[in-house]
Amino acid sequence: MPHAEPPWEWYRSFLQVLESGSLSAAARALGLTQPTVGRHIGGLEAALGLGLFTRSPEGLAPTDAALALQPYARDIAATAAALRRAASGHGDGVHGTVRITASEIVGVEVLPPILARLRTAHPQLAIELALSNQPDDLLRREADIAVRMFTPTQGALIARKVGTIELGLHAHADYLARHGTPASLKALAHHALIGYDRETAYIRRMGGKLQGLGRNHFSLRTDSDLAQLAAIRAGYGLGICQVPIAARDARLVRVLGRQLSLPLDTWVVMHENLRSSPRCAAVFDALVAGLAAYIGPAPG
């Protein structure tokens, strides 16, 4: 007789097998034995009356039914993780776990000193930092708080605009010593440019301000902002960088000044249901204050 309500462990194993492609890899990731994960998959298939995987030379291949169930399994996983974070902060005082999502460049270059000060103020807080240029969904509880570089459009969110980060064209002093400093946008045609590989919504919005510079103009193309910054620092060529990041290193020189200036609106966002959570309120306020200090006053 089919199991009336499959236990969460079965869905967790199902999701891990989907993501890893094999029972053995899923078992290692979950800290279980391979036979245990196999029993979970078999039990879930029996309970749902569906075949979820077929064997292939590469491992386990998901069926159409498995792929259709994947987003729901991810929702269960996100809700379970959010439940654990909420439970960790139950009681008085600021303690427990808060999950923050941010872009790679902000998470690596901007947030660490902010989080270090937060740790000093609230040593019982634990932070989960998820770095991705793809925004996590706060309504689905994939994260508690997000640092976003675009205006939030979802309802049921508390959103605070911190300010606008200026992006500008920069190069390492060694590169400019070898190749000279371009005096105009037209002169960029004679330089090695670092830029994107695939066009994003932000790039499309900023198309006019990029002064006609596009993918075909770039000598190095990558969608990783960290890789672009590393290439600028290595002296590969000229690329777009956050002005406050470049200002930390005297060897990074801004080129063409405000002739090429791009705005990057910066928001701190969380679900309105977390308004009364001391752990989330403390992190939210720390991010707002820290990012505002990083951005500094608006350019005159």
The pLDDT value recorded for residue 141 is 67
Alpha helices in the chain (DSSP H): 8-20, 23-30, 34-48, 64-88, 104-109, 111-121, 173-179, 201-205, 225-233, 243-246, 278-295
Distance CA 265, CA 279 (A): 25
Q: Which of 46-55, 71-80, 104-113: highest mean pLDDT?
A: 104-113
Q: 62 and 207: one domain?
A: no
The pLDDT value recorded for residue 5 is 80
Of 60, 84, 108, the residue that ends a domain is: 84
Distance CA 249, CA 239 (A): 15
Between 206 and 23, name the one with better pLDDT: 23
Q: Supply the CATH number for residue 50's domain.
A: 1.10.10.10
Of 84, 110, 130, the residue that ends a domain is: 84
pLDDT grade for 298, boundaries at 50, 70 and 90 = low
At 25, which helix (H) or strand (E)? helix 23-30
**Residue owning tokens 């066009």:** 199
The pLDDT value recorded for residue 155 is 66
Q: Tell me: pLDDT of 55 over 90.
A: no
pLDDT grade for 1, boundaries at 50, 70 and 90 = very low
**Residue owning tokens 């005159």:** 300
CB atoms < 10 A from the CB of 21, how many?
A: 17
Of 84, 109, 129, the residue that ends a domain is: 84
Q: Share the mean pLDDT of the chain.
A: 86
Q: Tell me: pLDDT of 280 over 70.
A: yes
Task: Assess contact for 3 and 42: CB atoms under 8 A.
Answer: no
pLDDT grade for 114, boundaries at 50, 70 and 90 = very high
The pLDDT value recorded for residue 84 is 75
Q: Tell me: pLDDT of 168 over 50.
A: yes
Q: Tell me: pLDDT of 207 over 90.
A: no
Distance CA 297, CA 70 (A): 45
pLDDT grade for 107, boundaries at 50, 70 and 90 = very high
Task: Assess contact for 44 and 52: CB atoms under 8 A.
Answer: yes
Using alpha carbons, select from 168, 148, 165 the residue that is nearest to residue 157. 148
How confident is the model over 212-257, as pLDDT tens digits? Answer: 577 788 999 999 999 999 999 999 999 999 999 999 999 999 999 8
Q: 154 and 210: one domain?
A: yes
Cβ-proximal residues to 116 (8 Å cutoff; 6+ apart), any chain: none
- The structure tokens listed for 109 are 């270059």
Task: Assess contact for 280 and 145: CB atoms under 8 A.
Answer: yes
Quote the domain boundaries for residue 201: 97-300
Question: How many folded domains does the chain comprise?
Answer: 2
Q: 287 and 200: one domain?
A: yes
Q: Supply the CATH number for residue 157's domain.
A: 3.40.190.290
Pairing of strands 238-242, 193-195: parallel
Does this model's pTM top 0.85? My answer is no
8-state DSSP, 256: S
Cβ-proximal residues to 148 (8 Å cutoff; 6+ apart), any chain: 135, 266, 267, 268, 269
